């Protein structure tokens, strides 16, 4: 849609009607532009307000804020290491669990399912994404955590605990709630996001490529692994990063099951905390400027981390789109 054509309006004569039309055009155009700029300003506003809110904490603790594990409201000393560690570890765990399952779902939906089954299954998986995170939280706390505590964690402790190196991750008492449980819940939450992107990416693979594979006598799996996957690698990574972005910032589900302990345990079975869980738990009750500011500083760190991840994901998906377009 181009600019309003002044020439055409002038051709009709400088009537009052044309003037009114031009005025409305200008008003509407500027209204849409303003709305678009509001979206832009929001991101700026969020960034500035987080930085302003976090300034007292950053200027007081300096770089030590990032490297210290201590979190003590009584002595007013705060460090971000434990929540940052918890955020990263739970998210990585979630990815490790979610990637294979999402890949399987995407393969099933694009290559395997009969046509009548594709839609219902696809919608059902997408509905999993519509369930609010607080529901995952109470389900995780009251259903999943007891199951993990009774059946899964004792097994992990018995069989993986004595192993060298990795064994340390699976030692200690089975609390039920903790880092591992949070990773598990997060995995269930991000499966629909990752599988949806992977499915879309797989569908952009040209049929000719797949057919050439089959024509050479490849099995379905060989076509998937040697034709579809290499062709859609960038897009798949983009989808995984989007899922990672979700997992990093997820709040309520994690708050229920992480146990909220400001420490770095060597075991995945121990309670921990994440950035978002710390903020959700403590912000409303935080007294004192430094305490509040430290929590906002945590928020600023989280924003920085998720922003980089999401930006990278979008960049990759964009590149994927461009390539798909130039291939057509």
Task: Draw the binding track, 11-40, toward another protein (x: CB under 8 A; -: no contact).
Answer: ----------xx-xx-xxx-xxxxxxxxxx
CB of 77 to another protein, least distance (A): 21
CB of 75 to another protein, least distance (A): 24
Q: C-alpha distances in angstroms, 307 versus 43, 180, 241, 247, 304?
A: 11, 25, 11, 13, 5
CB of 169 to another protein, least distance (A): 23
Rule CB under 8 A: choose which of 80, 210, 303, 320 binds another protein: 303
CB of 162 to another protein, least distance (A): 29
65 binds another protein (CB under 8 A): no
Token pair for 87: 């955020």
134 binds another protein (CB under 8 A): yes
For 278, list phi and psi in degrees, rounded to 5.
-60, -45
Rule CB under 8 A: choose which of 91, 153, 232, 306 binds another protein: 306
CB of 42 to another protein, least distance (A): 6
- For another protein, the closer of residues 161 and 243 by Cβ is 243
- For another protein, the closer of residues 47 and 171 by Cβ is 47
- For another protein, the closer of residues 74 and 284 by Cβ is 284
> CB of 132 within 8 A of CB of 253?
no
Rule CB under 8 A: choose which of 209, 310, 312, 324 binds another protein: 310
Residues 122 and 196: their CA atoms lie apart, in Å, by: 8
- For another protein, the closer of residues 267 and 278 by Cβ is 278
Residues 129 and 195: their CA atoms lie apart, in Å, by: 11
CB of 164 to another protein, least distance (A): 29
Residues 65 and 50: their CA atoms lie apart, in Å, by: 16
User: Residue 288: CB partners within 8 Å, gap ≥ 6?
Assistant: 73, 76
> CB of 305 within 8 A of CB of 248?
yes
- For another protein, the closer of residues 61 and 136 by Cβ is 136
- For another protein, the closer of residues 169 and 257 by Cβ is 257
CB of 33 to another protein, least distance (A): 6
> CB of 202 within 8 A of CB of 162?
no
- For another protein, the closer of residues 68 and 314 by Cβ is 314
User: Residue 128: CB partners within 8 Å, gap ≥ 6?
Assistant: 188, 189, 191, 192
User: Residue 205: CB partners within 8 Å, gap ≥ 6?
Assistant: 227, 228, 231, 232
Element (H, E) at 122: helix 115-130
CB of 273 to another protein, least distance (A): 14
Interface with another protein in residues 210-249 (CB under 8 A): 219-222, 224-225, 242, 245-246, 248-249
Interface with another protein in residues 85-114 (CB under 8 A): 100-105, 107-109, 112-113
Interface with another protein in residues 185-214 (CB under 8 A): 188, 191-192, 195
CB burial of residue 92 (10 Å; 0-12, 13-18, 19+) = middle
User: Residue 149: CB partners within 8 Å, gap ≥ 6?
Assistant: 174, 175, 176
Residues 52 and 46: their CA atoms lie apart, in Å, by: 10
> CB of 202 within 8 A of CB of 107?
yes
Interface with another protein in residues 246-265 (CB under 8 A): 246, 248-252, 256
CB of 5 to another protein, least distance (A): 8
151 binds another protein (CB under 8 A): no
66 binds another protein (CB under 8 A): no
């Amino acid at each position: 849609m181009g600019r309003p054509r002044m020439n055409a309006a002038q051709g009709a004569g400088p009537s009052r009607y044309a003037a009114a039309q031009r005025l409305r055009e200008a008003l509407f155009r500027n209204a849409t532009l303003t709305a678009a700029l509001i979206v832009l300003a929001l991101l700026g506003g969020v960034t500035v307000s987080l930085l302003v809110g976090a300034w007292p904490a950053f200027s007081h603790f300096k770089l030590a804020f990032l490297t210290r594990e201590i979190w003590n409201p009584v002595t007013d000393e705060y460090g971000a290491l434990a929540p940052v560690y918890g955020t990263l570890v739970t998210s990585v765990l979630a990815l490790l669990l979610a990637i294979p399952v999402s890949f399987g779902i995407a393969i099933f939906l694009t290559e395997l399912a009969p046509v009548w089954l594709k839609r219902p299954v696809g919608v059902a998986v997408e509905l999993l994404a519509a369930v609010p995170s607080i529901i995952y939280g109470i389900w995780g706390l009251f259903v999943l955590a007891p199951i993990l505590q009774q059946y899964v964690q004792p097994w992990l402790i018995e069989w993986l605990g004595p192993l060298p190196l990795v064994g340390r991750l699976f030692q200690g008492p089975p609390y039920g709630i903790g880092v591992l449980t949070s990773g598990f819940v997060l995995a269930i939450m991000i499966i629909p996001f990752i599988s949806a992107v992977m499915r879309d990416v797989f569908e952009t693979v040209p049929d000719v490529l797949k057919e050439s594979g089959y024509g050479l006598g490849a099995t379905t799996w060989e076509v998937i692994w040697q034709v579809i996957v290499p062709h859609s690698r960038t897009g798949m990574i983009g989808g995984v990063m989007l899922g990672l972005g979700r997992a990093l910032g997820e709040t309520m589900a994690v708050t229920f099951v992480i146990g909220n302990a400001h420490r770095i345990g060597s075991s995945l079975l121990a309670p921990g905390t994440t950035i978002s869980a710390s903020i959700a738990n403590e912000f409303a009750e935080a007294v004192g400027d430094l305490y509040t500011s430290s929590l906002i500083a945590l928020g600023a760190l989280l924003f920085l981390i998720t922003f980089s991840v999401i930006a990278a994901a979008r960049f990759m998906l964009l590149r994927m789109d461009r390539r798909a377009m130039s291939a057509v």
